[in-house]
Amino acid sequence: MTAKNLIAFYSWSGNTEALATAISHLTDSDVYEIKVPADTFSDDMYATSDIAKQQLANNQLPSLSGQVPDVSQYEHVFVGGPTWSGAPSTPVLRFLNAIKDSPVTLIPFYTHAGTAGGYEQAFAKAAAQSHVLKGFGTSGYGVGHAESQVKAWLNQIGID
């Protein structure tokens, strides 16, 4: 029996969306885009980084736009987003907070600008109440060439 999966992703620049699309083509998955109000972040990467740091410092994660899906109906929930300061983006952290009471297996995937830092450790800490499988990360520049790596990763974690 094929597992029923959800791919939930936040993409600031489009790179994580491309990776989510690649994963969705290789799995039996529904797709949910994690969205925030349009005025939450800047179009400038450095300004967005400053905004996110302020959100974390003030413990005020951004609001999500739209309704978060009921993740309890899924066996696996892939959760993707960009790496911000070596950790999940604040919209991804808000999503993880919104689903914290659902007993699901989470699978992180992420994009970065050169180094992932401690992304997976920070993700696991934010999702401490869930079972978290090994994640997959790639640079934003490598997204277009990551399909074989994504296939190998999915094989490694037992998703086909």
Read off the pLDDT of residues 105-121 as tens digits, 9 standing for 90 and up: 999 999 988 776 788 99
Split at pLDDT 50, 70, 90, the class of 2 is very low
- Are 78 and 7 within 8 A, CB to CB? yes
So what's the pLDDT on residue 1?
34
* Ordered structural domains, the chain, with CATH: 5-156 (3.40.50.360)
Which residues lie below 8 Å from residue 155, measured CB to CB, with a gap of 6+? none
Q: Is the pTM of this model over 0.95?
A: no
The single-letter code of the amino acid at 147 is E
Q: Which of 88, 145, 155, 149 is nearest to 120 (CA)?
A: 88
Q: Which of 107, 95, 156, 112 is nearest to 16 (CA)?
A: 112
